[in-house]
Amino acid sequence: MSKELLTRYFSKALLGRIAIFGSTFCFYISTVIVRWVKTEGLALESEFLVFGRFLLGFLIMAVIFLLKRELPRPRQYHFLLGRALGNTLAVFCLYKAIALTTVAQSNILNMTYPVFIAIFSWFLWRTGRSLLEVAMTFVAFAGIVLVLAPGEMSFDWNSLWGLASGITAAFAIICLKFAREQNDTETVLLVMFGVGAIFLFLGFYQKFHLPDGREFLYLFSVAGFGVAGQYLLTLGYRYVTAAEGGIISSFIIFLAAILGPFVTSDPALTLWGWAGALVIFGTDTYFIVRKSAPAQDK
């Protein structure tokens, strides 16, 4: 490989890594603002915040198609719909978890999706069920228990929202794997944001209202950082492998655990909570490298 090709390769790889780190930061800031909405006592329900994110994403993707003067040509509708509904539920459950528990715990539990991708694949394809993989699954669940009940094994039922976000994210990513086979990225995102916005409006329109200036600022900030994170993640995966991108994205576990007490006034993780976070990060890394799953759900 020539020096010029090496330089070009590493420049693109560096761009990809920076983009994915940027997406991780954007996703984290989005969740922090969701928590601020709760602590500030604003009349913005989790459903409204998720709707704002999907509506903004749909409008941006629609403008992109208009500028390109192209029409979307979706194929494999069942996988596109599965991706859209799974992602909508994942973000909804994540935002509910943040409103009811802590930013750190919610983000850590959301990052359990690689484990559930592995579990789902056992039943869908009946492959990859090695003894080591089964053992790592049990280790991962031990980490999940430590995060769910970090203080003297006390359990908060609201924590299950965070775990549900990880499970539904896994389902959405599996659907994404198949949807990508015959659809470009722009089409997948347009359908995902559009179907998600419609689903949320039909289900929760009674919780929506015309926000005042302060509420609109928070609503737009949550949506803007969420959509920016999705765009940077999509950009980053053009230049890095799925395994490398997934591991970089998993660093949100440490970002949330370290910064949580400072930016949201949430209680710091206990020793058991930190142990659970490290276990989840370790098992995430194992399953991401083994499966090389496209980790694009937050």
Higher pLDDT: 224 or 127? It is: 224
- Has residue 25 been placed in a domain? yes
Q: According to the model, what pLDDT value does residue 67 have?
A: 94
Q: According to the model, what pLDDT value does residue 49 have?
A: 96
- Has residue 2 been placed in a domain? no
- Has residue 278 been placed in a domain? yes
- Has residue 49 been placed in a domain? yes
- Has residue 1 been placed in a domain? no
Determine which helix (DSSP H) or strand (DSSP E) holds 185, and give its type and residue range.
helix 185-204
Buried b (16+ CB within 10 A) or exposed e, 79-99: bbbbbbbbbbbbbbbbbbbbb
pLDDT bin (cut points 50, 70, 90) of residue 63 is very high
Q: What is the mean pLDDT of residues 75-82?
A: 91
- Has residue 3 been placed in a domain? no
Residue 259: C-alpha distances to residues 28, 63, 108, 267 (Å):
10, 35, 13, 11
Q: According to the model, what pLDDT value does residue 6 have?
A: 45
The answer, yes or no, to whether residue 296 has pLDDT greater than 50, is no
Q: According to the model, what pLDDT value does residue 61 have?
A: 94
Structural contact between residues 295 and 288, judged by C-beta atoms closer than 8 angstroms: yes
Residue with tokens 């390109």: 68
Tokens of 190: 């347009």
pLDDT bin (cut points 50, 70, 90) of residue 294 is very low
Number of structural domains (the chain) is 1
Q: Please, how many CA atoms are within 13 Å of residue 11, restricted to the half-sphere of its CB?
A: 6
Contacts of 171 (CB under 8 A, 6+ apart): 82, 86, 116, 120
Q: According to the model, what pLDDT value does residue 76 have?
A: 86
- Has residue 4 been placed in a domain? no
Name the residue type at position 99. A
pLDDT tens digit sequence for 231-250: 888 888 778 776 677 788 88
pLDDT tens digit sequence for 255-272: 888 888 888 888 888 888
Q: Is the dihedral of CA 229, 231, 234, 236 positive or negative?
A: negative
pLDDT tens digit sequence for 94-108: 999 999 999 999 999
Which residues span the domain enclosing 205? 14-291
- Has residue 281 been placed in a domain? yes
The answer, yes or no, to whether residue 111 has pLDDT greater than 50, is yes
d(CA 296, CA 56): 18
